[in-house]
Amino acid sequence: MKAVKTAWFCNSCGAESPKWSGRCPACGEWNTMVEEKIRPEKKSRTLGPSSCSRISSPVPVSEIASDEEPRIKMPSSELNRVLGGGLVPGSIILIGGEPGIGKSTLVLQNILSIKSRTILYVSGEESAKQIKMRADRIGRPSENVFIVCDTSLQNIEEHISNIQPGLVIIDSIQTIASDDLESVAGSVSQVRECASRLLKYAKESSVPIMLIGHITKDGNLAGPKVLEHIVDAVLHFEGDGQHIYRLLRAI
């Protein structure tokens, strides 16, 4: 039986260390090292049209086409404004906020109004019936939004490969876990691995991905800081104590 291998990860920057240290050797933060079980990663296939292994070739900057790629317009004009005019194809966006603030509702009411592309909504927190009840309250029937309740990254990759969506929603990134790692969902290594794999798919297929995440009592995004560095943009959805007014801002 193989011995279990462990490593220490910084909860702030995601740096890996073979032993514990009171201060992270990478970012200098104190008391952020956490121990996790690890094992060698299995060779995983790449999703989408680039599933065959190809090596990109260097191209002179003068030969790169400079045509502005059209953004994907969201039904909400305010969401488009925060996104700088809409979703950029191949981008990965993280929307954070307190539990119950309305992150899932904000995303759902937008994607239910998009009729031009197939959308895959992956829920790791709610059942399909709960999402259906919310969709009924919104009152926007849709035939091109597919709901799947799963927390396995490998299963999600299989769903993406089968449906070939034009937009992917992950709710939430802290609930997704890869079978290649033995640590629990939400840990530093799991969040980093899952976000990196989704980022790779987004960039290779030009399919945008929206990640939903929670924030801590201090107002910071839950999970490792490295998640904020992986994504292209971080949006905060917040409101006052009574939730009468809600504000979506980019940080």
Mean per-residue pLDDT of the chain:
84
Query: What SS3 class is residue 36?
Result: strand
Lowest mean pLDDT among 17-21, 35-39, 46-50, 159-163: 46-50
Tens-place pLDDT, residues 96-107: 988 888 899 999
Overall average pLDDT of the 197-221 stretch: 86
User: Where is average pLDDT lowest: 30-34, 85-89, 174-178?
Assistant: 30-34
Per-residue confidence (pLDDT) for residue 51, from 0 to 100: 43
What are the boundaries of each domain within the chain?
1-40, 74-250
Measure the CA–CA gap between 2 and 48, rounded to whole angstroms: 35
Strands (E), 54-190: 92-97, 119-123, 145-149, 167-171
pTM, two decimals, is 0.80
- Cα–Cα distance measured from residue 23 to residue 247, given in angstroms and rounded to the nearest whole number: 36
Q: Is the CB of residue 225 less than 8 Å from the CB of residue 12?
A: yes
Task: List the single range of 58-62, 174-178, 204-208, 221-225 with lowest mean pLDDT.
Answer: 221-225
Candidates 43, 44, 45, 50; CA nearest to 206 is: 50
**Structure confidence by residue, pLDDT tens digits, 118-170:** 999 999 989 999 999 999 999 988 899 999 999 999 999 999 999 999 999 99
CATH tag, 74-250: 3.40.50.300
For 178, phi then psi, to 5°, come to -95, 140
Does residue 11 register a pLDDT over 80? no
Nearest C-alpha neighbor of 191 from the set 206, 207, 212, 208: 212
Report the alpha-carbon distance of residue 44 to residue 159 in Å, rounded: 15
